[in-house]
Structure 1
């Protein structure tokens, strides 16, 4: 069982991310990327965590394309972990759906607040890692 970190640790930098190909390093990278895409800060008033995916979604077309590319990186890492083709198609579908709906003004911004394709994809990857690489399981207190 893993618990998502509630905030980015102080002193967070790309230098802190492991570059190894082992499952534990991949897990830490994916969690950090998902945190950056979906949970950098809280919007006051609605107490909803948002990240780079939401901010990029505010930039017409190019922002959604960049956010989709970053979401695609999560799928690429899942492919490198040996996830099934069906799982990869589901993950790609989530990223594609998020990108397509992001092209619709206002609707896409609302979808970034509530749909969270990257969080859904991370959960699927973590289930795979927990099953096939149990030594990578982490529990944050």
Structure 2
């Protein structure tokens, strides 16, 4: 319901309550993350490995940060679908209890590295643009 409740007409794009909540500045993104935390609670009760839980938390963090981007945040939030990813992680962890932890470490490290590079690149890029604008004046 949060990520794929309705398919938009004439597209293959599915949206859910997460997109609607995201329209409310800050409160919507925080509320959406809180609802997404329910999946984390269920995963913990099911005995999902800690590394998978960490990956799920990272997915929620990325979703919340993307949702806070001015103007494009809601669109990015619709595309990322953290809740769908987290449910898939839980299902894989339950089906393949032995291999879930090992493969999740690689995915967690890769996802965190990509996220850190994107955020770091955004900060460095912003500094360069501000510096360039400052010198151009």
TM superposition score normalised by structure 1? 0.64
RCO comparison, higher one (Cα < 8 Å, 6+): 1
- In 2, the alpha carbon distance for the partners of 1:86 and 1:127 equals 13
1:96 alignment counterpart: 61
- In 2, the alpha carbon distance for the partners of 1:66 and 1:77 equals 18
- Indicate the structure (1 or 2) with the bigger Cα radius of gyration: 2
Matched, 1:116 2:65: no
1:11 alignment counterpart: none
Cα offsets for 1:95-139 (capped at 9, x unmatched): 01111221112222111221111111111111122235xxxxxxx
1:86 alignment counterpart: 51
Q: CA deviation at 1:88?
A: 0.6
Q: CA RMSD for the aligned pairs?
A: 1.3
TM superposition score normalised by structure 2? 0.66
The gaps in structure 2 that reach 5 residues or longer are 98-137
Aligned length: 97
Moved over 6 A (4+): none
Query: Per residue, is there more helix in 1 or in 2?
Result: 2
